[in-house]
Amino acid sequence: MQKIDEIIQGFLRDLNCDIVLNMSKSIKTGKKLRSKLILSISGENEESYKLCAIIELIHLASLLHDDIVDDAKLRRGARSVNSEFGTKNALMLGDIFYSKAFSELVGFGKKISQLIADSVSKLAIGELMDIELSKNFNADKSLYLDMIYNKTAVLIEASARSAAILASLDDLSFREYGKNLGLAFQMIDDILDISSDEKTLGKAAMSDFKEGKSTLPYIYLYEALDDKNILLDFFKKDLNDIEKKSLLDEFNKHGILEKSKKEALSYGNKALKAIEKYNNKKLNDIIENMINRSF
């Protein structure tokens, strides 16, 4: 992963802008799921490393814009760029990351370039869908699935498919793997927002609901409750510890988190089924680690 960070820093130094380098230093690059996926499919070589760096730069750009939309103060336990440097600077830094990533992407040829570019368009659409759904409580699971596919899964899907093209493998099988991995990944994120704590998450627990996000566990809880107002009265509210415990008790009472995790696991199994003929242990381990993670 250090090699990928070095390539990203090289991309940014090419821009010859100290402001960009200074702001970039404050960003934690995270788990690099997409890079691990690419390297597990196409192997470790200079071309794969460069593709990883491009994808990570795109992902970082999307997070910068996401934090602006959510007015997030923290990202992975540290101050967000918009909190530390201001919204305008964070917005422009995201645009710079996107632009630089696309300028490097053209070297990979038309098919991969189009795949990644299309995924970024859908990613932005996913963000718009998320904003729209956040206006009111959303109890429609199909709308939630459409939104997380675009906002999260589509870039993971494109990463897997592009890596398969580099390795001359069946890219459609790996598209299915990436899509289902991405859906499962977001579902686990949504569960952890409820079940984990601020120290582990790097942000306040149950912050999704405060921001108006009706994620899968909340949709399932809404379906299970006779008195829907038990949940709706908390929507977009800054909950205190007593209110959070009350809500968590309802999740536990109705077995909602276990039900949600079971659904995430079903998507993980779909991902494994799509590429079972390759018997790739690294890709199997990615699914297992992603499902059983604590942050």
Neighbours of 295 (CB within 10 A): 13
> Do the Cβ atoms of 52 and 38 come closer than 8 Å?
yes
DSSP-derived 3-state class of residue 205: coil
Query: What token pair was written down for 66?
Result: 């996401």
Question: Residue 43 has which token pair?
Answer: 């192997």
How far, in Å, CA of 30 to CA of 116, rounded? 20
Q: Which alpha helices (H) appear in the chain, and where do they start and end?
A: 2-14, 18-24, 33-42, 46-70, 81-85, 87-105, 110-133, 141-148, 154-166, 171-195, 198-201, 207-210, 216-224, 229-232, 241-253, 256-274, 281-291
* pLDDT of the residue at 206: 94
| Three-class secondary structure of residue 292 per DSSP | coil
pLDDT, tens only, 49-95: 999 999 999 999 999 999 999 898 888 778 999 999 999 999 999 99
- pLDDT, tens digit, 9 for 90 and up, residues 210-261: 999 999 999 999 999 999 999 999 999 999 999 999 999 999 999 999 999 9
Q: What is the pTM of this model?
A: 0.94
pLDDT tens column, 17-52: 999 999 999 887 778 999 999 999 999 999 999 999
Which residue matches tokens 């999740």? Answer: 251
Q: For tokens 């440097």, what's the residue?
A: 85
- Mean predicted confidence (pLDDT) in 190-197: 94
- Residues forming beta bridges with residue 74, ordered by sequence position: 79
Note the CATH architecture for domain 1-108.
Answer: Orthogonal Bundle (1.10)
Encoded tokens for 174:
């790996």
Q: Do domains 1-108 and 109-295 have the same CATH topology?
A: yes
CB atoms within 10 A of CB 52: 27
Look up residue 120 and give its amino acid: V
User: In this structure, how many other beta carbons lie within 10 angstroms of the beta carbon of residue 271?
Assistant: 28
Nearest to 21 by CA among 118, 87, 98, 96: 96
| Domain layout of the chain by residue ranges | 1-108, 109-295
Cα distances (angstroms) measured from residue 150 to each of 155, 203, 211, 258, 282: 8, 23, 19, 25, 25
109-295: CATH topology: Farnesyl Diphosphate Synthase (1.10.600)
Amino acid of residue 145: L
Q: Distance between terminal CA atoms of the chain?
A: 19
